[in-house]
Amino acid sequence: TLFQQSVPNWLLKQAQLNSEHCAIDDGQTQLTFTQVYEQACKRAAYFSTCTKKSSIGLLCSNCIDGYLAALGILMAGKTIVWLNWRLSTRELTEQANDSQLDCILLDERLNMRPFDKRCIYLDSYQTWEQNTPESTIPASAHAPFSLSAVASVMYTSGTTGKAKSVPQTFGNHFASAVSSALNLGVLPSDVWLCATPLFHISGFSIIMRSLIYGMTVRLVSHFNAQHISAILCDEAISIMSVVPYMLRTLLALAKKDQLTYNAAMRVMLVGGGVIDKATLEECTARNIPVVQCYGMTETCSQIVALSAHDAARKLGSVGKPLFTTQLRIDPQTSEICIKTPALTPGYGNVPSVFAKRTYDGWYHTGDSGYLDDEGFLYLKGRLDDMIISGGENIYPAEIEQVLLHHSAVGSVSVVGAPSSTWGHVPVAFFVLSGSALKEKQKAADEIRFLHEIEQSVIAYARKHLAHYKAPKRCIICDALPSNASGKVLTYVLRKRAQELTFEP
């Protein structure tokens, strides 16, 4: 098939086609595709001496050195195993063992001590690299990419349990980049701002697209709303990828400081989690061109997206399946099932889980949704999170969106608690908003104050939701349990909910 073929080495190709075009810019340093290729080749020469294994671990911040290390690994003909620096040493060691790594590149900017004897600092090869003889650059740096070869491995967030290792082939990245380009278009002047972590598919996919489109990546080390807003106003950024939290924070600042972004900005690509309608409407009002999308680590990023053209008309939808995506909704369970050349060949560490999810040739995403009569996809939530109460299906996301509008609610997560009458009933765990916290300090009787807030949130839910969807209990907590990527660990809350009792 097409995906067993090879394609010319993307970086080498760009060094030939767009040699003087800026490939990467961190605000201080700009490198052309030719410079990036040369630097990556020198690193490839060094990496080839570090290990005989086919994979190298990479633990880096969003910086040019990390970017060059990643491309150096690819030029060495090896697989990048992306590691998340927010993980604990125990989790990192587990993933390094799981991927059978014997070499892990560690970025000194992370201020992490080498947690394992397999770690090498990124800087350690810089003196060596000055005089890399041409002869030591491996043949792989000039060789074509095999579309079936694994370019990268990422571990999923583990929101639903154990983190699964997801290999992504060159063919997967290629299909993803082409699908995105057919939806968003590619302009020679495009600059894609990367503020999401490189170890996450939302970040690394920007690098891969840059190699395929010949496009500039503007790299920032981390998300700081003030800094990013200044970049969006002053520089000709045309596309930015954000998660809902980032968009809400940027929007608040744009409102407060009356900011107008640079006219080059043409797509604000938002995905990865549920976004409320109010935020979307406000973006439309402020002329921020939001494009909603849906995807996952397993599909190398977005597989469904809303075109800019439909954005206003279809607010709340994540759009239509992209050009290479086939999509069907399971009529029994409403699960979103897909076929796409961007789909991973299978989980590295739990192949049986992947086999189960693809038993009928379709990949069962575990997410639930529906298509409207024009074929636009709306997400309902994760099937694992769904609560069945008295025979009715309840999606926590819908309840959470409503509760977030209550002034005392900062963040919230809804799960099911067992009930002898209904099977399960929804309960909400929430963190107080900033204003509610201030009031709490002033309250004469704190316990009574908190009790009143809980009651008021329940009453609010009853008013705005069907009765069976309104949480039976709303419980204030100091923080919601979350994992390294900031996603709420609902299984922890479900365990807590099991201990609750309800009057019939």
- Shortest Cβ 360–ligand ATP spacing (Å): 19
Which pair of structure tokens corresponds to residue 410? 């900062």
Residue 318 binds ligand ATP, judged by CB under 6 A:
yes
Would you give the binding string for ligand ATP spanning residues 143-172, x where CB under 6 A is met?
Answer: -------------xxxxx--xx--------
**Least Å distance between CB 81 and ligand ATP?**
16
Of 22, 274, 329, 450, which one interacts with ligand ATP (CB under 6 A)?
A: 274
**Interface segment toward ligand ATP; rule CB under 6 A; list 293-301, 338-346, 369-377, 461-469:** 293-301
Q: Which is nearer to ligand ATP, 185 or 273 (CB)?
A: 273
Which residue, 210 or 365, is less far from ligand ATP as judged by CB?
Answer: 365
Residue nearest to ligand ATP (CB): 156
Residues paired with 253 in a beta bridge: none
Residue 393 has what DSSP assignment?
E
**Residue (35 or 324) nearer to ligand ATP, CB:** 324
Which residues does residue 155 pair with via DSSP β-bridges, in sequence order? Answer: 165
Residue 143 beta carbon to ligand ATP: minimum distance, rounded to whole angstroms: 31
Q: In b/e form, how buried is each residue of 192-214, taking b as 16+ CB within 10 angstroms?
A: bbbbbbbbbbbbbbbbbbbbbbb
Closest separation in Å from C-beta 93 to ligand ATP:
19
Question: Cβ closer to ligand ATP: 156 or 179?
Answer: 156
Measure CA 141 to chain center.
29
> Using the rule CB under 6 A, is 296 a contact of ligand ATP?
yes
Q: Report residue 372 as tokens.
A: 């409207």
Residue from 179, 365, 413, 419 binding ligand ATP (CB under 6 A):
365
Q: How far is the CA of 481 from the CAs of 87, 436, 490, 493, in angstroms?
A: 15, 20, 8, 8
Among 286, 464, 473, 487, binds ligand ATP (CB under 6 A): 487
Nearer to ligand ATP, 366 or 410 (CB): 366
The whole-angstrom separation of Cα 384 and Cα 368 is: 10
Supply the minimum distance, in Å, between the C-beta of residue 219 and ligand ATP.
Answer: 20
Beta strands in 357-467 (DSSP E): 363-371, 377-382, 387-389, 392-394, 409-419, 423-432
Instruction: Specify the stretch interacting with ligand ATP by CB under 6 A; choose among 72-80, 292-300, 443-451, 454-462.
Output: 292-300
From candidates 294, 363, 429, 430, binder to ligand ATP by CB under 6 A: 294
Q: How far is the CB of 276 from ligand ATP (least distance, A)?
A: 11
Please tell me the count of residues contacting ligand ATP according to CB under 6 A. 21
> CA 276, CA 103: separation in Å to the nearest integer?
43
Q: Which of 72, 167, 203, 272 binds ligand ATP (CB under 6 A)?
A: 272
Least distance between ligand ATP and beta carbon 267 (Å): 15
Nearer to ligand ATP, 328 or 451 (CB): 328
Taking the CA of residue 391 as centre, how many other CA atoms within 13 Å lie in the half-sphere pointing to its CB? 0
The Cα–Cα gap between 242 and 248 comes to 10
Nearest to residue 321, comparing CAs of 332, 329, 330? 329
Q: Is 499 exposed, middle or buried (0-12, 13-18, 19+ CB in 10 A)?
A: exposed
- Is beta strand 423-432 parallel, antiparallel or unpaired with respect to 409-419? antiparallel
- In the bound state with ligand ATP, the residue whose beta carbon lies nearer, of 378 and 502, is 378
- For the chain, the C-alpha Rg in angstroms (whole number) is 24
Binding of residue 367 to ligand ATP (CB under 6 A): yes
Assess 382 for contact with ligand ATP (CB under 6 A): yes
In 3-state terms the chain splits into helix, strand, coil percentages (rounded to 5) of 40, 25, 35
Question: Cβ(372)–Cβ(317) under 8 Å?
Answer: yes
Among 114, 185, 273, 390, binds ligand ATP (CB under 6 A): 273
* Least distance in angstroms from the C-beta of 166 to ligand ATP: 8
Q: Which is nearer to ligand ATP, 195 or 318 (CB)?
A: 318
In the three-class reduction of DSSP (H, G, I as helix; E, B as strand; rest coil), residue 336 is classed as: strand
Rule CB under 6 A: which residues touch ligand ATP? 156-160, 163-164, 271-274, 292, 294, 296-297, 318, 365, 367, 379, 382, 487
